[in-house]
Amino acid sequence: MSNQTKNPIFWGLIAVVVGIALAIWGWNKGDCNSSPLCYVGSGFLKWTGGLLLAGGIIIWGIFGMGNKKQ
């Protein structure tokens, strides 16, 4: 496992998984109609999840394509 933590593609996968989880959590928390129980931080969760998801996909695009041998 020590070699895996040095692999940027592994961290891209982690970023994608965590990003999807945070975005879904933000959408579930933000699904309210101006009630006092509405979660205020849902926008932060959505944006953070989206940025992590985009970052993970970019990491996969940069580092994943360079390892192909033709």
What pLDDT score was predicted for residue 7?
A: 81
What is the pLDDT confidence band of residue 39, given thresholds at 50, 70 and 90?
A: low
The tokens describing 52, both together, are 């992590």
pLDDT of residue 59 exceeding 70, the answer is yes
Range 54-68 average pLDDT: 80
Comparing 51 with 35, the larger pLDDT belongs to: 51
H-only helix segments in the chain? 8-29, 42-64
pLDDT of residue 32 exceeding 80, the answer is no
What pLDDT score was predicted for residue 21?
A: 93
What pLDDT score was predicted for residue 17?
A: 93
The angle formed by the CA atoms of residues 61, 63 and 68, to the nearest 5 degrees, is 95
